Chain A
Amino acid sequence: SQQGEEDPQALSIQEGENATMNCSYKTSINNLQWYRQNSGRGLVHLILIRSNEREKHSGRLRVTLDTSKKSSSLLITASRAADTASYFCATDALSGYSTLTFGKGTMLLVSP
């Protein structure tokens, strides 16, 4: 079974709109993190939410976590063209280390 499956796989919106991406996972976790990868660049850590947290904000980002449904969502408000990137959720299991399991990602395209 695969951890951290995001949906949609691709999302195309206009600048100023909100973008919502979802992530589901299968096993119990310590933390769930969201990362962004711009084309040709590395992974940038966006936000970490712990298993005992339900919602977290960081600037224009809002992350929710529902451990009963084993799902998380990432909301980007007032999107900008610079938000165009692939977004990944990653989970780490209860093993005590930070080994992450990633999903395939959601490719977000924000058009001016």
Chain B
Amino acid sequence: EAGVTQFPSHSVIEKGQTVTLRCDPISGHDNLYWYRRVMGKEIKFLLHFVKESKQDESGMPNNRFLAERTGGTYSTLKVQPAELEDSGVYFCASSQVQGGAFFGQGTRLTVV
């Protein structure tokens, strides 16, 4: 069974540009989560989808971040326009039941 996959693995963009990160959860997992680890800090929750609905987006830092999960399958996280402080590793996770979250490899975003 394929795990959670994220694309790209690494992205380097200039400040002001737009970047879209993609996450493909494990097939059949209704819950999809985005997390972010900024350099040297803890991994922080961004938002949670249940199928295509946003269950909790309390961790989204500001309106430059837009997450979608059309059809309840894969999800995208768009940052527009990107700022320097957005640099970090973005993790996606999916779960079917409580407590069983599986993480992807992460996307390392570098904004220069």
Which residues of A pack against B, CB within 8 Å?
2, 4, 30-31, 33, 35, 40-45, 48, 50, 88, 90, 92, 96-105
Q: Which of B17-43 contact A (CB under 8 A)?
A: 31, 33, 35, 41-43
Contacts of A92 in B (CB 8 A): 98-99
The residues of B with any CB-CB pair to A shorter than 8 Å are 6, 31, 33, 35, 41-45, 48, 50, 55-56, 91, 93, 95, 97-106, 108
Which A residues lie within 8 Å of B55 (CB)? 97
User: Do residues A100 and B45 form an inter-chain contact, with CB atoms below 8 A?
Assistant: yes
Cα–Cα distance between A44 and B3 once the two chains are bound (Å): 11
Choose one: B41, B45, B103; the contact of A99 (CB below 8 Å).
B45
B100 touches A98 (CB 8 A): yes
* Contact residues of A: prevailing secondary structure: strand
Do A40 and B108 have beta carbons less than 8 Å apart? Answer: yes
User: Judging by beta carbons under 8 Å apart, are B42 and A43 in contact?
Assistant: no
Chain B residues positioned under 8 Å from A97 (CB to CB): 31, 48, 50, 55-56, 98
Which of these, A30, A42, A90, A98, contacts B95 with CB under 8 Å?
A98
